[in-house]
Structure 1
Amino acid sequence: MSKNLYITATEEKSGKSAIALGVMQLLLRDLQHVAIFRPIINDNQTGSRDHDINLIMSYFNLDINYEDTYAYTLKEARELINSGKHSLLLENILNKYSQLEEKYDFVLCEGTDFQGKDQNFEFDINAEIAANLSCPVLLVANGRGKTSEDIIASTQLVIDALEDKGVDTVAAIINRITASKAEMDGILSSIKCKARCTEDLLVYGIAEDESLGNPSMNDVRKWLDASVLYGHGRLDTLVDDYVIAAMRIGNFLEYIETASLIITPGDRSDIILSSLASRLSSSFPDISGILLTGGLQPSASVHRLIEGWTGVPIPILSVDTNTYRTTQLLSELYGRIDPEDQRKTASALGTFESHVNINELRHRLVTSKSIKVTPKMFEYKLVQKAKANKQTIVLPEGTSERVLRAADMLTRRGVADIILLGKGDEVGVKVSSLGLDMHDVRIMDPVASPEFDDYCETYFKLREHKGIRMSDAKDRMMDPTYFASMMVYKGHADGMVSGSVTTTQQTIRPAFEFIKTKPTASIVSSVFLMCLKDRILVFGDCAVNPNPNAEQLAEIALSSAQTAKIFGVEPRVALLSYSTGQSGKGADVEKVKEAARIAKERAPELLIEGPLQYDAAIDPSVAKTKLPDSQVAGRATVFIFPDLNTGNNTYKAVQRSAEQSVAIGPVLQGLNKPVNDLSRGCTVPDIVNTVAITAIQAQAEKGLI
């Protein structure tokens, strides 16, 4: 079942708030606890609440702390991005969202209002947030004043753009359509046929309802903080356009139209009286009201004339701002739905339900879930999973700047309890020069440790049969990597991460010597977690075994499937070759065929296919041609390469050429306890991710997940 939905618009004044109101009512029919969340709200100059959040919370009496319902204002978001803190923006939005997700059955997310200066920026940030929250999207397009061709082209373009950005669009609502019923049906069917995204896309059209799209005189009053001079009982009158009255009466009257709001300085008694007269005349359109500017009031005699008029037919408002400024402010006003306006809310809900197939949409929303996962979302989930049951991870490279920065970040975020190896004074000087906080980090000098002699004795006994002498054992334990590995072996740490300044061989040799492989494993292998733009793939073995035989390849496949499960990836295993199915022959192909047979025999419940070519494994269209009946082809998530040469080059090619891709690893598998190797070119975030992975592996070893 899905737990979220992201409502985003294509442009401003699309009627998105009315759609959000309708969707929230739909959700509350099936779910008891639903939250509203807007990652980014409009810049607020008055200190009042965000309109849409207030509407949803007030109308449905949602028990949510207002401060929990949004993360940033549009200005704050832009400033973070411009200052190079894009990742911080997304991380904090994910944090806020996750807090709601933990407490509620469903989180309805609503995007920005496209009232900023850069609509492309808002589209991109909405798409990125939706993708990182793994939210299916309901798109609201504005059809007001557009031709059928314009609506079809613009909506299709946005749907396809969302697909390109890794977002699943579950439904599109074309709102405020002014076309006929037949034209509307044509628009909807054309959009559904032309969109590149899922064939199950729901498309609905809602006709323009002026009672929702146009502001009322009461909206004008609140927007401008205007005083009501006359017509208190007529403030629900709708405004369709503005007429600035600066001409003489004879010319001015030619410009008024139905539902015009007349804007004029308060001392233009001639305009005021002629406007009132036009409202009483059957020869002129009915205006909606008069707005007096400049803080000026009509003369006492004009006031007396109006007050003596039985039943002033229209509202007359007054503001202090001049005509130009007042008109500027009104240009930003559009019809809003206030929770206390029962007529508007009823109209909004009624319009939504009469144009949208409620049962169809409700079924889709509570049964569909985006399967796309972005690198940022995956990294965030890694950290959250590690934090859920903190483990102790030892980092032997205690004087490495990158390791120290990562340790600082890991402790600040509460990912794991960190032990750094190194001489206290050397580490202290480095920490001080970098301005880091290591109060919560345990710093240990192996040689000065009270465990040193015990570790030497243990190593000596474990390796005595290999000709190791006690002096050799002491030499080994003076090596931070050996000491850290022994901490893991003895249970004084739950896992080790190293390799930022040492080779892979130096990192994993101690583990091979005494941590050893699991009883069920004959070899140690590795995988890379390949975080692509919209999914997570598992590549193995790309770092350890140069040329595994069929039995070893089968074991790598099974270990990789298990690793995939630990990190939330549903395993569909493809054993790769230059041949698909029965199409090719040769020793290399036969090895993969035999590996597939062994793996299926050992784990019949797993979805395993081989041999497969890479394109047949990952591309559904190719799979239909090459292996149409396979449950793995075209949908593989775990890719097993036939040898190290192929695997290492492929993972690097994908990492460097795929848009927005991140390669996390290598993640070692098959050892009795978790030890992981870093690339010597690793970044601080790489170290943080690897520590989180190691902590999660430790949780799995203990049966905690």
Structure 2
Amino acid sequence: MRSIYVAGVGPKAGRDLVELGLMELLSHRVERIAVCRPIACAGDGDDHGVELLRSRYLVAGYARGMTREEATEIPEEKLVARLADGVRTAGEGCAALLVLGCGERAVPGRPDLDAELAAELDAPVVAVVAAGGMRAEKVAAALRDAHASFARHGCQVLAMIANRVTYAGSIPADLPVPWYVIPEHPRLAAPTVGQAAEATRATLVQGNAEGLLRDVLGYVFGGASLPIFLNDLREGALVVSPGDRADVLLGALAAGAAGTARPAGVVLTLGEKPPPNVRGLTARLAPEIPVLSAPPDSFTAAAMLSGLRGRITPDNPRKVETALGHFTAHVDTSALAARMDLVPDGGVTPQMFTHRLTVRAAAVRRHIVLPEGSDERVLAAADTIVRRGIAEVTLLGQKEEVRRRARVLGLDLHAVRVIDPVTSPLRETFAETYGMLRDHKSVSHRRARDVLTDPVFFGAMMTQAGMVHGMVTGATHPTAGTLTAAFQIIRTAPGTRAVSSVCFACLPHQVLVYGDCAVHDEPDDARLAEIAIASAVTAERFGIEARVAMLSYSAGPYGAGADADKVRRATEMVRTRAPGLPVEGPIHFDAAVDERVAAVKSPGSAVAGRATVLVFPDLDSAESACTAVRRSAGGLVIGPILQGLRQPVNDLPRNATVEEIIHTVAITVIQAQGGIRRNTDQ
């Protein structure tokens, strides 16, 4: 078992961010991870950091640490050994253990307890130094002092992290280990409306629970006249107003509805609530903006809100995604993973696979267009994609409608570009290009302009022109439309005989590649062989060792029937064209994936029971298998992913979830990383 110890140095070090980032990193490498905080922050279930990790990841081992009161009752000379025993118990049977440090003030008189315990556990340390408000020299000195303290106790220091840094210049630290600077992030530092409500004992009068997750980026106190108040109102501000100022409430929500300055929420003090006639208006103006009623007066409420800081909590996935993106942007996770020296515990689980997708995508970001900009799932996915730094995003759709829907959902899409294909000046240029591409079909300019009102064709033209690096669509458009746009505009890559597709079937303990799931209804033997080879290449590109099973209802060397003969011929073609590729066929599905069945039906096969790429004989059986995984097995299916195009265009099922859209975009980014033409703005 490999242990990693996260130690905070100084008050308000912001360890939650680093603990979250390290847990994400560990989950890329191993499946069974344990978490332990040796001295609990508070009562059971009240440790936000532990609950955050347990809610997001499959924590295989966990033991609640002793309380601070219990720790102070243990003799000093026995405390570290007792704490270490508890930590080891939490990690039993796991490949990795993340130890969430005690903190300098956990036990009076033991400021070096984290260093002592890490040394006792022989656990490498990631030290998180509180650096908020410090100048460069002080940050550097704090890093050096913290490193010296851990080294003095005999700890191996993996990395030093200066967190919540507000100084904008370079920091001249000279350390023998890697060190990173994570600047303060305004949205992580910002409390939510829900936290503000908790601080002021406010109750929700209007709006829904989603609105309580909005970030509070400042405060505006509504004691002035309405014109002066509107001048001071800023995007993301929490309005605190005397409860009887209906004009301030109406003005704030009207500004939000107009899009001039959308407040995070409104707190009405003195326990007042809007009268029915006012609420009738506010509910229509901006129903998504939360309105709260708080018992204190405005002055007392302001004092309660003073110094309130944001917190990363399990019930706020947007803040979690922002935190992970911020950590990845400022910490060299590849170098840190190498220093952790973790040995993968075998196989690729769905969680490992999807996490690796987002990490690889964020490493070299690309620009992806999403044509279905008005769909709520696409909007929610775009919000997460931008927060995590997975890709730059352009949405297609009527601008005001897209922005309105985003406001209703409480999404922050200020970094997302929105283009309306109908009104965009690019439509004329694209129509000329499309006419040339379809010149053999005698497509008129007028017809081309009409075609370019379709956002899927417009997005394909953006991709073809190099304005974006890829396109993901299909949430509301049929697969046929996606394929038509791809074939007419993007076209087949040089050297590729035919475009085909795969789906990544994420089952509980493995990820399988299914092909072909979208393009070819009844492929012949030659096409089936092409699909198998292309699917194997795709599998390898995404970290899955390719072992190909050519499926058929009738298996083995003596399987009978036209389809079995077709699969047998295709298998021989694969062996001829790709002699190093493990392939077996015709073979039954159960013999391909179950080692016990394989031992009976296909003894001695290098593929049977261990297949990772499953090639179906026709589209109907492939689609049925994907549906079975989604609906019966409860698994995640990503795709169809198209292979063989000049530039990446990928499809979504009509019932795609937000999660599936995010992962499909990440795959598209990784495909685009293999070679792009250019990236221009318009």
TM-score (norm 1): 0.54
Aligned counterparts of 2:377 and 2:63: Cα–Cα separation in 1: 43
Match of 1:571 among 532, 546, 560: 546
Q: Pairwise mapping of residues 410-449 of structure 1 onto structure 2 (< 5 A)?
A: 410-449=385-424
Aligned counterparts of 2:675 and 2:646: Cα–Cα separation in 1: 8
Q: Pairwise mapping of residues 593-608 of structure 1 onto structure 2 (< 5 A)?
A: 593-608=568-583
Match of 1:524 among 499, 503, 506: 499
Alpha-carbon contact 1:101-1:107 (below 8 Å) kept: no
- What does residue 669 of structure 2 align with? 695
| CA shift for structure 1 position 634 | 1.1
- What does residue 461 of structure 1 align with? 436
Aligned counterparts of 1:701 and 1:506: Cα–Cα separation in 2: 25
Question: Are positions 1:400 and 2:494 aligned together?
Answer: no
Alpha-carbon contact 2:482-2:651 (below 8 Å) kept: yes
Residue 605 of structure 2 aligns to a residue in which SS?
coil
| CA shift for structure 1 position 548 | 0.7
Residue 641 of structure 2 aligns to a residue in which SS?
strand
| CA shift for structure 1 position 668 | 1.2
Aligned counterparts of 1:398 and 1:100: Cα–Cα separation in 2: 32
Residue 478 of structure 1 aligns to a residue in which SS?
coil
| Residues 489, 84 of structure 1: alpha-carbon distance in 2 compared, 3 angstrom cutoff | closer
Q: What amino acid maps onto 1:555 in structure 2? A: E
- What does residue 74 of structure 1 align with? none
Post-superposition Cα deviations, 1:435-457, rounded to whole Å, max 9, x if no partner, equal: 22222111112233332222111
Aligned counterparts of 1:18 and 1:408: Cα–Cα separation in 2: 43
| Residues 85, 45 of structure 1: alpha-carbon distance in 2 compared, 3 angstrom cutoff | farther
| CA shift for structure 1 position 538 | 0.4
Q: What amino acid maps onto 2:118 in structure 1? A: I
Question: Are positions 1:681 and 2:655 aligned together?
Answer: yes
Match of 1:550 among 525, 528, 552: 525
Match of 1:489 among 464, 471, 476: 464
Over alpha carbons, which structure has the higher Rg?
1
RMSD of aligned Cα (Å): 3.9
| CA shift for structure 1 position 87 | 12
Q: What amino acid maps onto 2:98 in structure 1? A: R
Q: Pairwise mapping of residues 204-603 of structure 1 onto structure 2 (< 5 A)?
A: 369-603=344-578
Q: What amino acid maps onto 2:554 in structure 1? A: S
Alpha-carbon contact 2:472-2:651 (below 8 Å) kept: yes
Alpha-carbon contact 1:524-1:671 (below 8 Å) kept: yes
Post-superposition Cα deviations, 1:233-278, rounded to whole Å, max 9, x if no partner, equal: xxxxxxxxxxxxxxxxxxxxxxxxxxxxxxxxxxxxxxxxxxxxxx
- What does residue 118 of structure 2 align with? 53
- What does residue 621 of structure 2 align with? 646
User: Structure 2: 5+ residue runs without aligned partners?
Assistant: 3-28, 35-59, 66-80, 126-149, 164-178, 180-310
Q: What amino acid maps onto 2:453 in structure 1? A: M
Q: What amino acid maps onto 2:156 in structure 1? A: L
- What does residue 156 of structure 2 align with? 62
Post-superposition Cα deviations, 1:143-166, rounded to whole Å, max 9, x if no partner, equal: xxxxxxxxxxxxxxxxxxxxxxxx
Q: Pairwise mapping of residues 120-269 of structure 1 onto structure 2 (< 5 A)?
A: none
Q: What amino acid maps onto 1:484 in structure 2? A: G
Aligned counterparts of 2:106 and 2:62: Cα–Cα separation in 1: 25
Residue 440 of structure 1 aligns to a residue in which SS?
coil
Aligned counterparts of 2:677 and 2:370: Cα–Cα separation in 1: 23
| Residues 611, 587 of structure 1: alpha-carbon distance in 2 compared, 3 angstrom cutoff | same
Q: What amino acid maps onto 2:446 in structure 1? A: S
Post-superposition Cα deviations, 1:98-153, rounded to whole Å, max 9, x if no partner, equal: 96663254538xxxxxxxxxxxxxxxxxxxxxxxxxx7xxxxxxxxxxxxxxxxxx
| CA shift for structure 1 position 626 | 1.9
Question: Are positions 1:636 and 2:614 aligned together?
Answer: no
Alpha-carbon contact 2:432-2:448 (below 8 Å) kept: yes
Aligned counterparts of 2:384 and 2:63: Cα–Cα separation in 1: 39
Q: What amino acid maps onto 2:571 in structure 1? A: A
Alpha-carbon contact 1:396-1:484 (below 8 Å) kept: yes
Alpha-carbon contact 2:87-2:99 (below 8 Å) kept: no
Residue 452 of structure 2 aligns to a residue in which SS?
helix
| Residues 522, 586 of structure 1: alpha-carbon distance in 2 compared, 3 angstrom cutoff | same
| Residues 445, 104 of structure 1: alpha-carbon distance in 2 compared, 3 angstrom cutoff | closer
Percent sequence identity is 40
Residue 399 of structure 1 aligns to a residue in which SS?
coil
| Residues 486, 42 of structure 1: alpha-carbon distance in 2 compared, 3 angstrom cutoff | same
| CA shift for structure 1 position 459 | 0.8
Post-superposition Cα deviations, 1:313-348, rounded to whole Å, max 9, x if no partner, equal: xxxxxxxxxxxxxxxxxxxxxxxxxxxxxxxxxxxx
| Residues 427, 557 of structure 1: alpha-carbon distance in 2 compared, 3 angstrom cutoff | same
- What does residue 640 of structure 2 align with? 666
| CA shift for structure 1 position 676 | 0.9
- What does residue 284 of structure 2 align with? none
- What does residue 107 of structure 1 align with? 340
| Residues 432, 464 of structure 1: alpha-carbon distance in 2 compared, 3 angstrom cutoff | same
| CA shift for structure 1 position 531 | 1.2
Aligned counterparts of 1:467 and 1:560: Cα–Cα separation in 2: 36
Aligned counterparts of 1:517 and 1:400: Cα–Cα separation in 2: 29
- What does residue 263 of structure 2 align with? none
Alpha-carbon contact 1:577-1:613 (below 8 Å) kept: yes
User: Structure 1: 5+ residue runs without aligned partners?
Assistant: 25-34, 70-78, 109-134, 136-367
Alpha-carbon contact 2:348-2:544 (below 8 Å) kept: no
Alpha-carbon contact 2:318-2:384 (below 8 Å) kept: no
Residue 382 of structure 1 aligns to a residue in which SS?
helix
| CA shift for structure 1 position 554 | 0.6
Aligned counterparts of 1:592 and 1:419: Cα–Cα separation in 2: 42
Residue 569 of structure 2 aligns to a residue in which SS?
helix
| Residues 81, 432 of structure 1: alpha-carbon distance in 2 compared, 3 angstrom cutoff | closer
Residue 517 of structure 2 aligns to a residue in which SS?
coil
Match of 1:620 among 595, 600, 604: 595
Q: What amino acid maps onto 1:677 in structure 2? A: D
| Residues 456, 39 of structure 1: alpha-carbon distance in 2 compared, 3 angstrom cutoff | farther
| CA shift for structure 1 position 528 | 0.9
Aligned counterparts of 1:90 and 1:596: Cα–Cα separation in 2: 47
Aligned residues: 425
Residue 665 of structure 1 aligns to a residue in which SS?
strand
Match of 1:38 among 83, 88, 98: 98
Aligned counterparts of 2:316 and 2:407: Cα–Cα separation in 1: 25
| Residues 619, 601 of structure 1: alpha-carbon distance in 2 compared, 3 angstrom cutoff | same
Aligned counterparts of 1:540 and 1:413: Cα–Cα separation in 2: 30
Residue 61 of structure 1 aligns to a residue in which SS?
coil
Aligned counterparts of 1:570 and 1:563: Cα–Cα separation in 2: 10
Aligned counterparts of 1:510 and 1:601: Cα–Cα separation in 2: 34
